[in-house]
């Protein structure tokens, strides 16, 4: 494990989006465990975005990274998507795919898998276009700031999706708790938070670099979400381990929480 917390600036200096995508999101070149992990998360996202009430106008993706898998089930239920991430090269990589630029990552196998989950594998091209059309803005954010998108102010979202971001961005539990409060300011009262977070992990590595991860227990995540003014609607923890020293992950959580109407 890294001796120090790898903060947002470390991501900005070191994170290589193409290597990240190759390591974790490629149906052809990622290791078996990474593909399994992704498919499990896709199934959980599919389930969570099928829940009643998880819909509306604006969806905000917090810590989107260079990926779109987290938007594939989501895009069916929202009109407009705003994607946020700290790291410039990740936002750029995402835009490359959105604009069909040469060298963009090939998400096709992943899109097909999600379409299959939704009952019609043939809809994959249509879904890709839907995502491309609905993502209207890709902007910088910092979840450790009280106003994560400052100085830009966004329209309040009906939903936030955030996958595998906060546990990397927060150095300790108090920081995790305040990041949840920070991102909750992006949400309308009554809006939903859809989150995928790893459990029991202290580091992950790819491209010969090690990133720190906040070691989280199930009950800590649960309590932090409640303390940030949410009510839990869905909470599913699954064990997950990898027989390799690239990470010490123990499990993964999918959760849906609703921002209290008075919060």
Residues at the annotated binding site?
20, 25, 69, 85, 90, 142-143
Residue closer to ligand SAH, measured from CB, 117 or 252: 252
Longest Cα–Cα distance of the chain, Å, equals 47
DSSP symbol at 22: H
If one asks whether residue 258 binds ligand SAH (CB under 6 A), the answer comes out as no
As annotated, the binding site for S-adenosyl-L-methionine includes: 20, 25, 69, 85, 90, 142-143
Only segment of 93-101, 111-119, 129-137, 163-171 that touches ligand SAH (CB under 6 A): 163-171
74-103 residues in contact with ligand SAH (CB under 6 A) are: 85-87, 90
- 48 class by beta-carbon count within 10 Å (0-12 exposed, 13-18 middle, 19+ buried): buried
Closest CA to 87 of 180, 176, 9: 9
CB 167 within 8 A of CB 247: no
Q: What is the DSSP letter of 121?
A: G
Using CB under 6 A, which of the segments 60-68, 94-102, 240-248, 254-262 binds ligand SAH?
Answer: 60-68
Residue nearest to ligand SAH (CB): 65
How far apart CA 23 and CA 34 sit, in angstroms, is 7
Question: What are the structure tokens assigned to 239, written together?
Answer: 């064990």
According to CB under 6 A, which residues from 3 to 22 bind ligand SAH? 8, 11, 15
> Which C-beta is closer to ligand SAH: that of 208 or that of 219?
208
Stretch that binds ligand SAH, among 57-65, 118-126, 234-242, 244-252 (CB under 6 A): 57-65
Q: CB-wise, 32 or 122, nearer to ligand SAH?
A: 32
Q: Which residues contact 223 (CB under 8 A, 6 or more apart)?
A: none
- Copy the structure tokens of residue 37: 């992990």
Q: How many residues bind ligand SAH (CB under 6 A)?
A: 21
d(CA 55, CA 211): 33
Q: Which residues bind ligand SAH (CB under 6 A)?
A: 8, 11, 15, 63-65, 67, 70, 85-87, 90, 141-144, 163-165, 168-169
């Amino acid at each position: 494990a890294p001796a120090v917390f790898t903060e947002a600036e470390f991501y900005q200096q070191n994170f290589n989006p193409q290597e990240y995508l190759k390591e974790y999101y490629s149906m052809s070149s990622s290791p078996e465990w990474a593909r399994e992990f992704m498919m499990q998360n896709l199934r959980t996202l599919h389930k969570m975005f099928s829940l009643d009430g998880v819909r509306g106008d604006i969806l905000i993706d917090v810590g989107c990274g260079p990926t779109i898998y987290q938007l594939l089930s989501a895009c069916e239920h929202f009109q407009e998507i705003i994607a946020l991430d700290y790291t410039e090269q990740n936002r750029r990589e995402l835009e490359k795919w959105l604009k069909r630029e040469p060298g963009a990552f090939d998400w096709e196998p992943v899109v097909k898998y999600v379409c299959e989950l939704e009952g019609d594998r043939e809809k994959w091209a249509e879904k890709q276009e839907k995502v491309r059309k609905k993502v209207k803005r890709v902007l910088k954010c910092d979840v450790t700031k009280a106003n994560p998108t400052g100085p830009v102010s966004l329209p309040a979202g009906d939903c936030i999706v955030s996958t595998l971001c906060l546990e990397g961005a927060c150095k300790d539990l108090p920081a995790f708790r305040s990041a949840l409060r920070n991102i909750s300011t992006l949400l309308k009262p009554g809006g939903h938070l859809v989150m995928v977070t790893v459990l029991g992990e202290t580091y992950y590595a790819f491209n010969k670099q090690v990133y720190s991860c906040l070691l989280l227990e199930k009950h800590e995540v649960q309590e932090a979400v409640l303390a940030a003014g949410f009510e839990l609607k869905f909470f599913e923890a699954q064990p997950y381990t990898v027989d390799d020293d690239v990470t010490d992950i123990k499990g993964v959580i999918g959760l849906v929480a609703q921002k209290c109407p008075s919060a």
